[in-house]
Structure 1
Amino acid sequence: MPPSLPPIIDTHQHLWDPEQLDLPWLKNAGPPLAGRHWAEEYRTATEGVPIAASLYMEVDADPAQKLKEAELVLKLIESDSSPTKGAILSANPGADGFRKYVDRFRNDERVKGYRQVLHGGTTPAGYCLSEKFMANCRYLGSQGKTFDLCLRTPELRDAVRLAAACPETTFVIDHCGNADPKAFFTKDDKRKVRPSHDAQRWRDDMIELAHQPNLHCKISGIVARVPNAWSSDDLRPIVEHCRETFGESRIVFGSDWPVCKMGASLKEWVAALAEIIAPWPIEAQQKLLSGNARKIYRLA
């Protein structure tokens, strides 16, 4: 790990314990995601990495256990036994009862925002553009809470319309818009891989997203999709395009642990990112790794 790396705020820390929480999607997941991934395991995974704080990111638990998930994480934060200092909880702005649920956390400073998984198979295209969904996102803005967006790449421009309809709400696009590093391999690359989307379409969509001042971009998730024998150069085009489009003040780091283990360990991901941002001014590095997160998620 580079010794000069600035302190890091990890804005995308998944934690789960199958003994305490039911995650339907985890039942069919094998290594490296199966099993317990709680605070102790995260501590081991980040040993030697300068993590100053982390934000818990919801894990798509069974809908009947959303409140239990929140209680488990808030108890962890309160215990002060881990770097977890805030939570992005699960809440569906398109569902009945949304406001009643989020109102219980209205004045809870530990709850920084919410997310509803939009990239899975349970939500149709355009789901986030219903009037109910948009009105409830505006409601989050009135509470000072953020909303993280994880969209399928063909639907990225839905976020443009959503952000435009909710100008007082802060949105964060997770995982660089779910960019696939394989889309940026050169034609003469000897690794025979097929990308999940077109590179230029993604670039253009990210430019459109960046035009919305209340949209921010999370540098996360991309390492989970690398093939074998990868290097930081495979991730560089995505990171640099996000920086160029959103600017140095609207990008934040997220480990996406333990999902990142599908491509690399957390340490390997951080080391690769360190290589990519090494030429950046130190102020820009600090903004990406901690400064912007403090502002976007209101961290002390």
Structure 2
Amino acid sequence: MSGAPPGDPSGPVVVDAHQHLWDPARRRYPWMEVPGREPLRRPYALDDLRAATSAAGVQRTVLVQTVSAAEETREFLRTAGGSGGLVAAVVGWVDLAGDVPAQVADLRGGPGGALLAGVRHQAEDEPGTAWLERGEVARGAVAAARAGLVHDLLVRADQLDAASALVDAVHEAEPGAVFVLDHGAKPPVGGDGWAAWAAAVARLAQRPHVRCKLSGLFTLVPAGAPDEALRPTVEHLLGVFGPGRLLFGTDWPVSTLAAGHADVLARTRALLAGLAPGERAAVLGGNAVTVYGLDAPVPR
């Protein structure tokens, strides 16, 4: 395994570009009610994140929305503002079918508002592709891009072509728009639908203003299968996006269903061992600093 191990102070900057916080005692998380996710139904707060990232040697994180609620985004911004730089950016939620400029102004006007770097809607939970095809959603996405916000795409494999069409519509109106595909659209690792996913994600990757998160993958590995089951998926994403457009993320604490924070980083390093050092450093941190405009930490 190449690269510095977790916690090595001589290693490159590491950014977890995708993590969450939540408290089921305060808010309902419908996606958490799926069988098998019972271990996640406990609070995960900033102190838990600090302990996990410290053990892993991660210096910055991007905190990502978990529900369609502006109040959660306000909470996340307050948390980020008081994190001492650990949470360097927030990807929040706004109603893309509503008055996006007003919503963004409201969020940015509150505590930690300067750390709002992106928006996301859980389109994977929407039936079919109708939500992605709504004209008002495209207009809202244009407004978000004009506000300088990155657009995280959380979509299923069968929604990738509709996501590509949305990206095209937004980019035509706002050429500076930047999109990030979360979790590689959750490929069916080892499943019959892998080839269809691979073709659809390759079509999306033809758009140079789309990036992709190498995140949330270990929870997709079939029970009992080794990490090598992920290699075709990782190599495909590297092939279609290139290391200059991939961002490492853990999807912590969802990732704890498969591995701890430090273990996810170590196992990701192993899957990236074939890259040149500069390429690996870009995936593990440099690309996230650029995409989300982070206050970059000094090299460790």
Q: TM-score scaled to structure 1, two decimals? A: 0.86
The answer as to whether partners of 1:91 and 1:114 remain within 8 angstroms in 2 is yes
Please state how far the C-alpha of 1:225 moved relative to its aligned partner: 1.5
| Alpha-carbon distance in 2 for matches of 1:23, 1:181 | 25
| Alpha-carbon distance in 1 for matches of 2:276, 2:266 | 17
Please state how far the C-alpha of 1:178 moved relative to its aligned partner: 1.2
Task: State, as a whole percentage, how many aligned pairs show the same letter.
Answer: 25
The correspondence for 2:46, drawn from 39, 51, 69, is 39
Alignment gaps of 5+ in structure 2: 296-300
CA 1:106–1:84: 2 relative to 1, 3 Å: closer
Q: What is the aligned-residue RMSD (CA, Å)?
A: 2.1
The correspondence for 2:167, drawn from 145, 163, 169, is 163
| Alpha-carbon distance in 2 for matches of 1:283, 1:175 | 22
Question: What letter corresponds to residue 13 of structure 1 in structure 2?
Answer: Q
Please state how far the C-alpha of 1:82 moved relative to its aligned partner: 6.4
The correspondence for 1:179, drawn from 166, 170, 187, is 187
Please state how far the C-alpha of 1:27 moved relative to its aligned partner: 5.4
The aligned residue for residue 53 of structure 1 is 60
| Secondary structure, aligned partner of 1:48 | helix
Please state how far the C-alpha of 1:5 moved relative to its aligned partner: 5.2
| Alpha-carbon distance in 2 for matches of 1:162, 1:118 | 12
Question: What letter corresponds to residue 14 of structure 1 in structure 2?
Answer: H
The correspondence for 2:122, drawn from 117, 126, 149, is 117
| Secondary structure, aligned partner of 2:168 | helix
| Alpha-carbon distance in 2 for matches of 1:154, 1:205 | 8
Alignment gaps of 5+ in structure 1: 183-194
User: How many pairs were matched up?
Assistant: 281
1:190-226 per-residue CA deviation (whole Å, 9 max, x = no partner) reads xxxxx3x522211211211111111111101111122
The answer as to whether partners of 2:32 and 2:38 remain within 8 angstroms in 1 is no
| Alpha-carbon distance in 1 for matches of 2:240, 2:196 | 14
Question: Is residue 236 from structure 1 mapped to residue 231 from structure 2 by the alignment?
Answer: yes
The correspondence for 1:217, drawn from 212, 221, 246, is 212
Please state how far the C-alpha of 1:179 moved relative to its aligned partner: 0.9
The aligned residue for residue 154 of structure 1 is 158
The correspondence for 1:23, drawn from 19, 25, 29, is 29
| Alpha-carbon distance in 2 for matches of 1:265, 1:135 | 39
CA 1:231–1:271: 2 relative to 1, 3 Å: farther
| Secondary structure, aligned partner of 2:264 | helix
The correspondence for 1:100, drawn from 99, 102, 114, is 102
The aligned residue for residue 298 of structure 2 is none
Q: TM-score scaled to structure 2, two decimals? A: 0.86
The answer as to whether partners of 2:99 and 2:140 remain within 8 angstroms in 1 is no
CA 1:174–1:297: 2 relative to 1, 3 Å: same
* Higher RCO (CA-CA < 8 Å; seq separation 6+): 2
